[in-house]
Amino acid sequence: MRRTWGMLAALALAAGACSNSDGSPAITTATLPTTPLTTEVTSTEVTSTDVPDTAMPATPATTATPATPESAPSETAEVTSSTAVFDPSALFAGAASRSVLPTVGGARDYLGNAPGWDDLDPDDPGVFVPTWDQGRVDVGNGNESGSWVHDDLRVSALALRKGAQLVVFATADVYMIFAADAAEIIRRARALLPVDVAPTVQIVISATHNHHGPDTAFSVNDKWYDMMADQAAQAIAESVANLVPTTMGAAAGEYRFGVADARDPLIIDPALNLITFNSVTSGDTIATVVQWTSHPETTLGWAPPVDLTAACAIKEWTGDNCSAEGRYFTADYPGVVREQIHALTGGEVLYFNGPLGSQIGPGQADVWLVDDAHPVGDGVTPPEGAKPVPGAADFRDRNLARTLAIGTQLSVAVQGLLESPTAEVVDAIRVREQPFYTRLTNIGFRVLLADGDLGWQSPNVYNCGAKPFTDDTCVDDAGELLDDPVLTPLVHSQIRKGDVLKTQIIHVDLGDVGLLFMPGELPPELVIGLPADFESNTAAYYSAESDGERGVHAVGANYEIPGYLLQLVHEAITITVGLGGDELGYWVPINDARLKCLDLALPPGTTCRQLFEAGALVAPDAIGGPLCRQITDDPAALDAFAADIAGGIAATCRYGQALGRELGEPSGHYEETNSAGWDLVDDTWAAAQVLLREG
Map 533-572 to HEC letters. CCCCCHHHCCCHHHCCCCCCCCCHHHCCCCCCHHHCCCCC
Range of the domain at 437: 431-503+557-589+678-695
pLDDT at 84: 63
pLDDT at 15: 31
How confident is residue 14, by pLDDT bands cut at 50, 70 and 90? Answer: very low
Residue 634 amino acid letter: D
Q: Which pLDDT belongs to residue 76?
A: 35
Which residues 6+ apart lie within 8 Å of 194 measured at CB?
A: 79, 80, 81, 82, 240
Residue 48 has pLDDT above 50, yes or no: no
Classify residue 522: in a domain, yes or no. no
For position 56, what pLDDT does the model report? Answer: 56
Mean pLDDT of the 538-567 span: 84
Is position 662 within any domain? yes
pLDDT band at 693 (very low <50, low <70, confident <90, very high): confident
308, 318, 319, 454, 524 from 312: Cα distances, Å? 6, 7, 10, 29, 42
Q: Are residues 269 and 332 in the same domain?
A: yes
Phi, psi of 252 (to 5 degrees): -140, 145
Q: Has residue 7 been placed in a domain?
A: no
Of the residues 396, 424, 452, the one at which a domain ends: 424
Q: Is residue 400 domain-shared with residue 454, that is, in the same domain?
A: no
Do 266 and 346 fall within a single domain? Answer: yes
Average pLDDT (88-111) is 97
Q: Are residues 268 and 322 in the same domain?
A: yes
Q: Is the pLDDT of residue 361 over 70?
A: yes
Is residue 357 predicted with pLDDT exceeding 50? yes
pLDDT in tens, 171-206: 999 999 999 999 999 999 999 999 999 999 999 999
Does some domain include residue 541? Answer: no
Residue 34 domain flag:
no
Q: Which pLDDT value is given to residue 106?
A: 98
Same domain, 205 and 294: yes
In a domain, 686, yes or no: yes
Are both 408 and 449 inside the same structural domain?
no
Taking 70 as the threshold, does the pLDDT of residue 643 lie above it?
yes
Average pLDDT, the chain: 89
Q: Do 613 and 488 share a structural domain? A: no
Residue 81: CB atoms within 10 Å:
8
Between CA 99 and CA 172 the distance in angstroms is 9
What is the model's pLDDT at position 70?
Answer: 38
386: confidence class by pLDDT, cuts 50, 70, 90:
very high
403, 424, 445 - which closes a domain: 424
As separate numbers, helices (DSSP H) first and strands (DSSP E) second, the chain gives 12, 24
At residue 441 the predicted structure's pLDDT band, cuts being 50, 70 and 90, is very high
- 265 cis-preceded (ω within 30 degrees of 0): yes
Residues 127 and 243 in one domain: yes
Whether residue 545 has pLDDT greater than 70: no
The yes-or-no verdict on residue 152 having pLDDT over 60 is yes
The 3-state DSSP class for residue 408 equals helix
Q: How far is CA 158 from CA 133, 186, 324, 424, 506, in A?
A: 29, 14, 35, 17, 16
In whole angstroms, what is the distance from residue 517 CA to residue 182 CA?
13
Residue 538's pLDDT is 92
Per-residue pLDDT at 64: 31
Q: Is residue 533 part of a domain?
A: no
Please name the amino acid found at residue 253: G
Residue 425: DSSP 8-state = -
Identify whether residues 414 and 459 lie together within a single domain: no
Q: Where are the beta strands (DSSP E) in 379-483?
A: 422-424, 430-439, 462-464, 474-476, 481-482
Q: Are 168 and 202 in contact (CB under 8 A)?
A: yes
Q: Is 504 helix (H, G, I), strand (E, B) or coil?
A: strand
* Count of residues making up the chain: 695
Tell me how far the alpha carbon of residue 486 is from its chain's centroid: 32
pLDDT level of residue 662 (50, 70, 90 thresholds): confident
Decide if 442 is inside a domain. yes
Q: Are strands 148-149 and 328-329 parallel, antiparallel or unpaired?
A: parallel
Would you state the pLDDT for residue 603?
Answer: 96
Please give the Cα distance from 423 to 670 (Å, whole number). 43
Rounded mean pLDDT of 37-66?
Answer: 39
- For residue 72, the model assigns a pLDDT of 36
List, in order, residues 6 or more apart from 491 with CB less than 8 Å away. 8, 9, 10, 11, 447
CB-CB contact of 5 with 442 (8 Å)? yes
Domain count within the chain: 3
| Same domain assignment for residues 162 and 216 | yes
Same domain, residue pair 346 and 490: no
The residue among 591, 631, 602, 596 whose CA lies nearest residue 617 is 596
Could you tell me the pLDDT band of residue 54, with boundaries at 50, 70 and 90? low
- State residue 61's pLDDT score: 33
What is the reported pLDDT for 554?
93
Cα–Cα distance measured from residue 345 to residue 286, given in angstroms and rounded to the nearest whole number: 9
Among the candidates 401, 424, 447, a domain finishes at: 424
465: confidence class by pLDDT, cuts 50, 70, 90: very high
Q: How buried is 369 (Cβ within 10 angstroms: 0-12 exposed, 13-18 middle, 19+ buried)? A: middle
Please provide the distance, in angstroms rounded to a whole number, between the alpha carbons at the two ends of the chain. Answer: 33
DSSP single-letter state for residue 458: P
| Least confident window among 46-55, 133-142, 225-234, 305-314 | 46-55
* Residues 460 and 390 placed together within one structural domain of the fold: no
